Amino acid sequence: MPSSATRHTFQHVAVIGPGAIGLVLAVRIAHVAGGPSVTLIDHDAERARRLSAKPIRLSSPSGDLEAGIPVRLAPGAPADLVILTTKAHQARGAAEGAAGWIGDAPLLTIQNGLGVAAEVAQALPHATVITGVTYQAANLTGEGEVRHVACGETHLGYEGRGPDATVRKAVDLLNEAGLPATAEADMTPVVWGKLLVNAAINPVAALAAVRNGEVAARPALRAMAEAVAEEGQATANAAGVALPYESAAKAAIDTARETAENRCSMLQDLEGGRTTEIDYLNGAIVRVADQHDVPVPANRTVTALVRQVSAAQERPL
């Protein structure tokens, strides 16, 4: 639960992206006692108008919350922390769209996959870009309505160096909002650790059109997920990345069981005819593997298949 003793110093937080994680962060931070004001940033002016006209509603096993949060194309006042919660393939464009108002505010990226923070840093060369990896789980149940499924840990920091005061203040804010967070000495192992689990589960579940638990339960799906994870681990080893677990395959199957009822975001994207994050997951593994001459046929296959299905679904009739 949020603490009554405010340790952070942020006055105004802008959350970019009205998706599930963006809504969870916006509502939870808005409920911090004595905390910052919150603005939700949306690229869609008409949707922003609709969302501003009603409270944002969050339901969770620990209780329901709602908050009246202004939703704008850009914040009306300078923000001193920006949190970017779009999908990985949307992050760079969203950062470029924020360049006119972000100023010198630090920006926290919370995306799946590999390379997002670097792309955002290229788009905002004068900004401090913090890498975030979250195990929060949430699903949109309607426009401006979100179901907070699991309140997992969020890890913050930089890739290749330790945290600074800005990272620690952001960690304090999330903890005060009831969202467990820690500062990491190096985000690289954390990013890769989640990358390999997502890369093993998401495309297999999406292509088979099943919930996560079926990936662990069905022998053929499990074998494919394990092959993807093992190739990813070999790639990480070749790149000199120390993973946060001994076996990526075991971590992936354990996670599939723990999230058995979840319909992963890639499955939802394929069903909705939307662009997936495949190029930041398995596609990224293939790119790094090619640099180190690591064979990754399973990752190459699922990348090609998801791209093909996604392209077919996105093609206009």
DSSP 76: S
DSSP state of 249: H
Q: Give dist(CA 105, CA 129) in Å, integer.
A: 9
Q: Is 112 helix (H, G, I), strand (E, B) or coil?
A: coil
Sort residue 3 into left (φ over 0), alpha (ψ -120 to 50) or beta.
beta
Which among 87, 169, 194, 250 is annotated as catalytic?
A: 194
- Ramachandran class of 157: left when φ > 0, alpha when ψ lies in -120 to 50, beta otherwise: left
Count of CA atoms in the C-beta half-sphere (13 A) of 277: 23
How many CA atoms, within 13 angstroms, populate the side-chain half-sphere of residue 201?
30
Which residues in the chain belong to E strands, given as ranges? 12-16, 37-41, 56-59, 65-67, 71-72, 81-84, 107-110, 129-142, 145-157, 181-183
**Active site annotation includes 54:** no
Tokens of 56: 């944002």
Query: What positions carry a catalytic annotation?
Result: 194
